[in-house]
Amino acid sequence: GEPSLELLLVPSEEPSGSGTQKLMCSGWSFNPQIKWLFGSEQRSAAAYERRMGEDGHVALTSHITVTQQEWNQGMVFTCEVIDKYLQKVRRGLACTQTCFL
């Protein structure tokens, strides 16, 4: 099976004027790795979480913080899941802020 993927906006607990948004990307595969791109630039994620499923698949969840400026200027955020074993890149989901509204 191919890696599967979802990209979500994490509801902020801070007041809306706080200046940052949080995105979450989840991928399922045998050995998933998550890569973030802001525009064409690679970014490091703030946090990763791995969970082992009963069928041997791994669920990997990654969070990344977006500044208000990046958010407002219509930056394209891409989350890619790569599985080293399958040699398949599942081109991630690419979204601007309008996807999440």
- Give the mean pLDDT of 69-87: 86
pLDDT band at 53 (very low <50, low <70, confident <90, very high): confident
The confidence score (pLDDT) of residue 14 equals: 66
Number of helices (H) and strands (E) in the chain: give both, helices first: 1, 8
Is residue 96's pLDDT more than 90? no
- What pLDDT is stored for residue 88 in this prediction? 66
Give SS3 for 99. helix
> CA-CA distances (angstroms) from residue 87 to 2, 19, 43, 82, 83?
10, 38, 22, 8, 6
Segment 6-32 mean pLDDT: 83
- Nearest CA to 9 out of 101, 94, 81 is that of 101
pLDDT of residue 41: 94
Greater pLDDT, 22 or 88 = 22
